[in-house]
Amino acid sequence: MSELNGKCVIITGASRGIGAAAAEVFAAAGANVVLLARGEEAIADLAGKIGSQALAVPCDVTRYWEVAAAVEAARNTFGRVDVLINNAGVIEPVSHLATSDPDGWGQAIDINLKGVYHGIRAVLPVMLEAGGGTILGVSSGAAHGPTEGWSHYNASKAGAAMLTRCIHHEYGDKGIRAIGLSPGTVATQMQKEIKASGINRVSRLDWSAHIPAEWPARALHWMCSAEADGFLGDEISLRDEDIRQKIGLS
């Protein structure tokens, strides 16, 4: 999409998996990409691979001031912020509720839900001042139904999905596009952690059942186009064959 040329895209959790794949897809489309993650070396290496279109900003999304500083760094470097991809997320610690670790459970909420809010809160004033922008969330089927051992993940993803709806409700008529993406199971480090847990049916899936990270990355790219406007305030699922065909994944 030529309309992405020169645009600025901030991606959280950009050190690996979907985030890293999205960085490459958006950069190939002509966008400038700002890579946020705690893994400083990994995002520095990825930014070096992409070149002058990329800026690596070490950032812990659980700390609002770090996210706000990263947004300011994006503006200072590229002069604008057009797209935010809230991708950072964790699945650990997988555990049944009765034996769950309160600190670990809370940390997952801090990353998966509060981290999403921090990104939204930091970019919205910038986007509203500019007259519009796109905020994309990496959602999950776990947002819509319980999964054994994943109470932290279910709760945080459900909350993040509601934030997408809240953005649309409050700012959809002010030029802010908000959409969620439920990618299904993706061949990333998170799936290795799920498999190692041995809890629930997802951990027992064969590795061949998982889609490559490039697929959700390409979906996020498509979601920035007017073709996806019918899903504003909602989310799309890559389990939907019609959606895959629209994106060109079938």
pLDDT tens digits, one per residue of 97-108: 999 999 999 999
**DSSP annotation of 186:** B
- Average pLDDT value for residue range 84-88: 97
Task: Give the least confident one: 74-88, 142-156, 176-190, 229-243.
Answer: 176-190
- Residue keyed to tokens 């409050």: 170
**List 64, 117, 153, 171, catalytic entry:** 153
Q: What is the pLDDT of residue 1?
A: 46
pTM, full prediction: 0.94
Give every CB contact of residue 196 below 8 A, 6+ residues apart in sequence.
Answer: 203
Residue 153 known to be catalytic: yes
Q: Does residue 20 have a pLDDT over 60?
A: yes
pLDDT tens-digit readout, 189-239: 777 888 788 888 877 777 777 878 899 999 999 999 999 999 999 999 999
Lowest-confidence pick of 21-25, 143-147, 189-193: 189-193
d(CA 133, CA 128): 8
Cα distances (Å, whole numbers) of residue 159 to 112, 144, 199: 9, 10, 23
What mean pLDDT comes out for the span 126-146? 95
Q: Is CATH 1.10.1670.10 the right assignment for the domain spanning 2-185+216-247?
A: no
Residue 2: what pLDDT?
54
